[in-house]
């Protein structure tokens, strides 16, 4: 029964991304779509009010526009968070956050990470939840899809220029994120997720005591939180809270929402190339990496904790610590795998309470950062590995490597090498600093191997722009707020900028005619080699750390 639930959800995922992928292609490629008659008027009004011209940008202009736009919106978020104490949409009289937490929160949400060092229901006013959190969820998700679309257009040879970042941002927001979020929010409201501007209410419980129940625009936040692969919760308990995720049906809706756009982007790539076989080859690699670890997460949690079993404590239903009874092992394990594979960061169970091998799975997904990934970024990272695979295969046969009809030369490979090295660097170096410094070590609440996992998880989540955490870490301090803010910023923008540069170089090259010696990138051989390249690089980079963390913890049980 458990596996039937999981299989049905995965089948639904594959079925829905096929039509959505075609529609997403129409949006990011500027092709005609069924909604043009209405949405062109909406978009043109926004262009007119904002002073946006539709002229194509050079790749340099596109990158600069992307960075400046994100910086300005982050600055506005900092201002709003700093003045949230004002009595505007603040029915509960929420006070201001500390300066380091304000900066951490603004960086976290503009980078699509949504790492939360605060509890939303007690730390943010409704004004901050809507004008900062929900707003940044839309623009960070739209920025990711826009950049991913420009990357696709470049490497496919569809156009020499990058397009227009502001046009891409508007089209993705108005034609994808807003309408889809509205539909998802209505489904969630139907399942019992609240949507109101009223404040906390005090109720009398069945036991006769009184309890404060926080309320707010939860459904609106939940919809874009998952659709935009954001992950930040209205409540500190995130999607394990019954107001964010009340039923098994809402749980399925939220999982499919976070899987939708990353999966659909791969289908869009096939339409962009007019080679669906190439897109499905990439999809199979991502799906294979996902399916390799999903059974590990499920069986590790189903088996429970052997130490409890040795004490004679029944674990008939598996490791239920930190999990919701209404969801169970299957839905919790799938959610854990999905939220870290698609780098959303939303959680419906506490990852700090996972068994060691169960905790290995989200860490591994974020360390690879290519298993579908977030809006645009996961796809870009997988294509990066595909280019590296073609280059290595070319070296083995003594032939100039080509990808999608373009020759690969030293400058593209150097940029890719730097991009691959940056990810482990901004994870392992800060982790080492945190473990040896008093300011970092003071936040660790578990000794031994699990304490190491807590630290590594925090920086891995930040670097992968995921946002989930081993919540046993005492992270709302100057050290943790500052260090993770830097890692989130570097993890978001360095890889995106470098890969846009790769796309610009490939877009400028003349196509090379295919021959009998051309290494095909749409067949089973390429798919298998690509899987092994990703696994080998991931293992060589991170396996020693994983051995000292979750694997060592498992062996000591």
- Residue among 355, 362, 363, 268 at smallest CA distance from 28: 268
Strands (E), 294-408: 402-403, 406-407
Q: With 90 as the cut, is the pLDDT of residue 154 above it?
A: yes
d(CA 422, CA 38): 43
In this prediction, residues 354-369 reach a mean pLDDT of 96
Task: Give the DSSP letter string of 422-449.
Answer: HHHHHHHHHHHHHHHSHHHHTT--S-HH
d(CA 330, CA 157): 43
Q: Helix (H, G, I), strand (E, B), or coil: what is residue 153?
A: helix
What percent of the chain clears pLDDT 70, i.e. is strictly above it? 100
- pLDDT reading at 207 higher than 90: no
Query: Is the confidence at residue 433, as pLDDT, over 80?
Result: yes
Q: Is the pLDDT of residue 472 over 90?
A: no
Residue 65: CB atoms within 10 Å: 18
Q: What is the separation of C-alpha 557 from the centre of its chain, rounded to a whole number of angstroms?
A: 32
Q: Which two tokens stand for residue 82?
A: 């700093």
Averaged over 215-222, what is the pLDDT? 95
**333 falls in which pLDDT band (50, 70, 90)?**
very high
Q: Which two tokens stand for residue 280?
A: 């499905």
Decide if pLDDT at 486 tops 90.
yes
Q: Report which of residues 258 and 518 the model is more confident about.
A: 258
Residue 494 above 80 pLDDT?
yes
How many Cα atoms within 13 Å fall on the side-chain side of residue 490? 20
Q: For residue 230, is pLDDT > 90?
A: yes
Distance CA 182, CA 176 (A): 10
The CA-CA-CA angle for residues 372, 456, 554, to 5°, reads: 90
pLDDT grade for 381, boundaries at 50, 70 and 90: very high
Q: How far apart are CA 326 and CA 82, in angstroms?
A: 38
Do 369 and 379 touch, CB atoms closer than 8 A? no
In contact, 27 and 176? CB cutoff 8 Å: yes
Query: CA geometry: angle at 549 spanning 546 and 554, to 5°?
Result: 100
Strands 210-213 and 402-403: unpaired
Give the mean pLDDT of 148-174: 94
Q: How many CB atoms lie within 10 A of CB 438?
A: 7
Distance, in Å, from the CA atom of 96 to the CA atom of 209, rounded to the nearest integer, reads 30
255 close to 8: Cβ distance less than 8 angstroms = no
287 has pLDDT over 80:
yes
Give, as one character, the DSSP assignment of residue 403. E
Packing angle, helices 524-546 and 377-397, rounded to 10: 110
Residue 55 CB coordination number (10 Å): 9
Please, what is the average pLDDT of the chain?
Answer: 94
pLDDT of residue 327: 92
Alpha helix stretches (DSSP H) within 173-275: 178-190, 218-227, 248-273
With 90 as the cut, is the pLDDT of residue 280 above it?
yes
What pLDDT does 305 receive?
83
CA neighbor of 228 nearest in space, from 183, 261, 202, 203: 261
> Is the predicted pLDDT of residue 503 greater than 80, yes or no?
yes
Element (H, E) at 204: strand 201-204
Tens digit of each residue's pLDDT (9 = 90 or more) over 72-128: 999 999 999 999 999 988 999 999 999 999 999 999 999 999 999 999 899 999 999
36 — pLDDT class (breaks 50, 70, 90): very high
Count CB-CB contacts under 10 A for residue 549.
26
DSSP-derived letter for residue 404 is T
With 90 as the cut, is the pLDDT of residue 131 above it?
A: yes
Higher-confidence residue of 314 and 449: namely 449
Lookup: tokens for 2: 């458990």
The per-residue pLDDT for 1 is 77
Q: What is the pLDDT of residue 137?
A: 97
**Site of tokens 């009809």:** 405
If residue 210 lies in a helix (H) or strand (E), which one and from where to where?
A: strand 210-213
- The residue among 61, 90, 59 whose CA lies nearest residue 508 is 59
Q: Average pLDDT, stretch 259-287?
A: 96
CA distances from 287 to 31, 337, 459 (A): 28, 12, 25
Please report, for residues 114, 115, 117, 123, 274, the alpha-carbon distance to residue 120 in angstroms, rounded to integers and kept in the order given: 12, 12, 9, 5, 45
Tokens read off for 209: 């005591």
Residues 6 or more apart whose Cβ sits within 8 Å of residue 179:
none
What average pLDDT score do residues 58-78 get?
Answer: 97
Report whether 358 contacts 249 (CB < 8 A): no
DSSP assignments along 479-531, one per residue: HHHHHHHHHHHHHHHHHHHHHHHHHHHHHHSPP----TT---SSSHHHHHHHH
pLDDT above 80 (res 415): yes
pLDDT of residue 307: 77
Average pLDDT over residues 27-47: 94
Q: Are 234 and 126 in contact (CB under 8 A)?
A: no
pLDDT of residue 46 exceeding 80, the answer is: yes
- Give yes or no for a contact between 476 and 118, defined as CB atoms under 8 angstroms apart: yes
Q: What angle do the packed helices 165-172 and 59-82 form, to 10 degrees?
A: 60
Q: What local confidence, expressed as pLDDT, does residue 309 receive?
A: 73
Q: How do residues 157-169 score in pLDDT, each as one tens digit?
A: 888 899 999 999 9
pLDDT at 518 over 90: no
Q: What is the pLDDT of residue 514?
A: 76
Widest CA span of the chain, in angstroms? 79
**Whose CA is closest to 329, among 310, 348, 312, 352?**
348
Tens digits of residue pLDDT in 288-330: 999 999 999 999 999 988 777 777 777 778 899 999 999 999 9
3-state class of 202 per DSSP? strand
């Amino acid at each position: 029964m458990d596996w039937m639930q999981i299989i049905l959800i995965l089948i639904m995922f594959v079925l829905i991304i096929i039509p959505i992928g075609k529609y997403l292609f129409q949006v990011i490629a500027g092709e005609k779509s069924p909604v043009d008659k209405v949405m062109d008027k909406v978009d043109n009004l926004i262009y007119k009010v904002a002073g946006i011209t539709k002229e194509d940008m050079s790749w340099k202009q596109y990158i600069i526009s992307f960075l400046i736009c994100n910086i300005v919106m982050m600055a506005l978020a900092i201002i709003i968070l700093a003045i949230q104490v004002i009595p505007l949409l603040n029915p509960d009289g929420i006070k201001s956050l500390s300066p380091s937490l304000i900066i951490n929160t603004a960086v976290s949400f503009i980078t699509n990470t949504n790492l939360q060092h605060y509890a939303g229901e007690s730390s943010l006013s409704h004004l901050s939840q809507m004008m900062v959190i929900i707003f940044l969820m839309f623009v960070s998700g739209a920025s990711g899809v826009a950049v991913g679309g420009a990357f696709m257009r470049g490497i496919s040879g569809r156009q020499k220029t990058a397009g227009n970042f502001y046009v891409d941002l508007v089209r993705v927001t108005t034609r994808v994120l807003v309408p889809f979020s509205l539909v998802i929010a209505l489904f969630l409201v139907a399942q019992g997720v609240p949507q109101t501007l009223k404040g906390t209410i005090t109720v009398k419980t069945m036991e006769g005591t009184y309890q404060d129940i926080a309320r707010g625009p939860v459904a609106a936040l939940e919809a874009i939180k998952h659709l935009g692969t954001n992950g930040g919760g209205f409540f500190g308990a995130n999607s394990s809270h019954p107001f964010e995720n009340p039923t098994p049906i809402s749980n399925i809706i939220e999982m499919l929402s976070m899987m939708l756009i990353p999966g659909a982007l791969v289908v869009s790539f096939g339409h962009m190339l007019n080679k669906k076989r190439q897109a499905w080859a990439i999809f199979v690699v991502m799906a294979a990496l996902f399916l390799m670890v999903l059974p590990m997460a499920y069986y590790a949690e189903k088996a429970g904790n052997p130490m409890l079993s040795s004490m004679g404590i029944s674990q008939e239903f598996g490791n239920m610590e930190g999990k919701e009874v209404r969801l169970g092992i299957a839905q919790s394990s799938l959610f854990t795998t999905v939220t870290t594979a698609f780098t959303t960061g939303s959680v419906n169970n506490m990852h700090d309470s996972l068994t060691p091998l169960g905790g290995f799975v989200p860490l591994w997904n974020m360390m690879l950062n290519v298993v579908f990934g977030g809006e645009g970024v996961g796809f870009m990272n997988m294509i990066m590995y595909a280019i590296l695979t073609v280059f290595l295969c070319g070296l083995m046969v003594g032939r100039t490597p080509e990808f999608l009809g373009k020759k690969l030369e030293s400058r593209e490979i150097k940029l890719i090498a730097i991009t691959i090295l940056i990810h482990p660097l901004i994870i392992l170096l800060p982790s080492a600093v945190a473990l040896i410094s008093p300011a970092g070590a003071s936040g660790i609440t578990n000794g031994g191997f699990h304490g190491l996992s807590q630290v590594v998880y925090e920086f891995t989540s930040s670097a992968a722009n995921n946002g989930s955490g081993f919540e046993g870490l005492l992270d709302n301090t100057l050290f943790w707020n500052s260090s993770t803010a830097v890692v989130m910023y570097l993890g978001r923008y360095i890889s995106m900028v470098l890969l846009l540069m790769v796309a610009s170089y490939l877009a400028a090259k003349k196509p090379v005619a295919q021959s009998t010696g051309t290494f095909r990138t749409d067949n089973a051989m390429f798919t298998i080699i690509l899987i092994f390249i990703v696994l080998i690089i991931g293992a060589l980079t991170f396996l020693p750390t994983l051995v000292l963390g979750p694997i060592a913890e498992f062996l000591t049980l």
